[in-house]
Amino acid sequence: MGIYINRGNGSFASAVNSQIYVDKTGLLEYTNSVLDTEQRFICFSRPRRFGKSVTAGMLAAYYDRSCDSHALFQNLKIAKSPAYQKHLNQYDVIQLDITTFHRQDENSTEMLRRMNLEIVTELRETYENTLPEVEDYLPSALATIHKKTGRSFIVIIDEWDAIFRESKSDVKAQKAYVEWLCGMFKSETAKGFIKLAYLTGILPIKKYNSESALNNFDEFTMTSPAMLAEYVGFTESEVQSLCKQYQMNFDEAARWYDGYSFRTEQHVYNPNSIVKAMLRREYSNYWTQTVAYESLKTYILMNFDGLKDAIIQMLAGGQCKIRVDSFENDMTSFKQKDDVLTILIHLGYLTYNSLTREVRIPNEEVRAAFSEVILDTDWTPVIHAIQESDALLESTWQKDSTAVAQKLDIVHMENTSILSYNDENALSCVITLAYFNARNDYTLIREFPTGNGYADVVFLPRRHSDKPAMVVELKYNKSPDSAIAQIKNKRYPKALEDYQGNLLLVGINYDKEKKAHSCIIEAWNKNSHR
Q: Which of 432, 429, 360, 420 is nearest to 393 (CA)?
A: 432
User: Which helix H or strand E contains 273, and what residues bound it?
Assistant: helix 271-280
Contacts of 183 (CB under 8 A, 6+ apart): 137, 138, 139, 140, 190
Give the count of alpha carbons within 13 A of 357, CB side only. Answer: 6
Return the C-alpha torsion angle 424, 430, 433, 434, nearest 10: -110
Q: What angle do CA 164, 341, 326 make, to 5 degrees?
A: 70
Q: pLDDT under 70 in the chain at which residues? A: 208-212, 289-294, 416-426, 448-455, 464, 500-501, 525-530
Considering the domain delimited by 380-529, tell me its CATH architecture. 3-Layer(aba) Sandwich (3.40)
Residues of the chain with CATH 3.40.1350: 380-529
DSSP 8-state class, residue 423 = S
pLDDT of residue 423: 57
Residues of the chain with CATH 3.40.50: 10-220
Model pTM above 0.85: yes
Give 382-420 pLDDT, tens digit per residue.
Answer: 898 889 999 999 999 999 999 999 999 888 887 765 556
Report d(CA 146, CA 33) in Å as an integer. 22
Q: For strand 268-269 and strand 92-97, is the pairing parallel, antiparallel, or unpaired?
A: unpaired
pLDDT of residue 53: 95
**β-bridge mates for residue 449, sequence order:** 454
pLDDT of residue 169: 82
Give 272-295 pLDDT, tens digit per residue.
Answer: 999 999 999 999 988 776 665 568
pLDDT of residue 432: 85
- Amino acid residing at 179: E
Q: SS3 of 200, please? A: strand
Report d(CA 35, CA 301) in Å as an integer. 44
Report d(CA 175, CA 378) in Å as an integer. 38
Residues of the chain with CATH 1.10.10: 293-374
The Cα-based distances of 436 to 259, 314, 408, 420, 443 in angstroms read: 18, 12, 12, 18, 11
- Amino acid residing at 181: L
336 φ, ψ (degrees, to nearest 5): -160, 170
> 10 near 67, Cβ under 8 Å?
no
DSSP 126-151: HSTTSS-TT---HHHHHHHHHHHH--
Please name the fold of domain 10-220. Answer: Rossmann fold (3.40.50)
List of E strands, 462-528:
469-476, 503-511, 516-524
pLDDT of residue 104: 84
Report d(CA 483, CA 493) in Å as an integer. 13
- Sheet with 41-45: list strands edge to edge: 92-97, 153-158, 194-201, 41-45, 218-220
Report d(CA 510, CA 180) in Å as an integer. 61
Identify the CATH assignment for 293-374 out of 3.30.70, 1.10.10, 3.40.50, 2.60.40. Answer: 1.10.10
pLDDT of residue 530: 47
42 φ, ψ (degrees, to nearest 5): -125, 135
